[in-house]
Structure 1
Amino acid sequence: MDNYGGHIGQGRARDSQARRDAVTVEIGYALCSALFLAVVVFGVVAGPALAFELSDTVQGTLVASGATLGAVLFTVRVVSVLNRFAREGDSTDGDQPSQPGRTNPDS
């Protein structure tokens, strides 16, 4: 039995479930923050075209530019958040406590 009152090996199952949960939360954060960024950028670039009477050419250019820039920034944001999360996950080996001065319960 381990410190949690379960059988040996259940700690690893809890760790893998915690890791899956962390990945799910990080993916959700990446998508939500990227969507927010894309909407704000689209609004800033295409907003004047939708708010004011502009020629069809200028209006089309602003809307297309806003959509393109929003899509590019959406992709860049998702990739950068998930890469940062992956790098942080690789740097921790799981055997050391997460905070300095704390001891590992297995020690």
Structure 2
Amino acid sequence: MTRHGGRRSQAERDAVTVEIGYALCSAAFAAAVVLGAVAGPALLFELPGTFETVLLRTGMTLATVLFAVRTVAVLVRFRRAAQPSQPGRTNPDS
């Protein structure tokens, strides 16, 4: 349902689908980069057991948290974005 109680148009549903895809892909990329940066040395080099375990667990934890935060942030920003009042028109300030 839209804010006015009507059904969403196909364009609105498509925009939501694209935004969800973008949120998931960008979150997965950011999480992979963080995981590689933090846990990468433990995977590439032979480190002492405890240090290797700490790096791997820290990397996995940070990647998981970053994935969730990035996904939520993108979707909240999309929801709050001011949409033009008429299709095909932009705000005068843009």
TM-score (norm 2): 0.82
Q: 2:31 aligns with which of 34, 38, 53?
A: 38
Structure with the greater alpha carbon radius of gyration: 1
Q: Which residue of 2 aligns with 1:50?
A: 43
How many residue pairs get aligned? The number is 87
Question: For residue 35 of structure 1, what is the amino acid of its counterpart?
Answer: A
Q: CA, structure 1 residues 83+32, in 2 after alignment: closer, same or farther (shift >3 Å)?
A: same
Structure 1 segments of 4+ aligned residues over 4 angstroms from their partners: none
1:44, distance to aligned residue in structure 2 (A): 0.2
Residue 90 (structure 2) pairs with residue 94 (structure 1): no
Measure how far apart 1:56 and its partner are.
1.0
Ranges in structure 1 where 5+ consecutive residues have no aligned partner: 1-11, 102-107
Question: Which runs of no fewer than 5 residues in structure 2 stay unpaired?
Answer: 1-5
Residue 7 of structure 1 corresponds to which residue in structure 2?
A: none
CA distance in 2, matches of 1:98, 1:61: 52
Q: By how many angstroms is 1:45 displaced?
A: 0.1
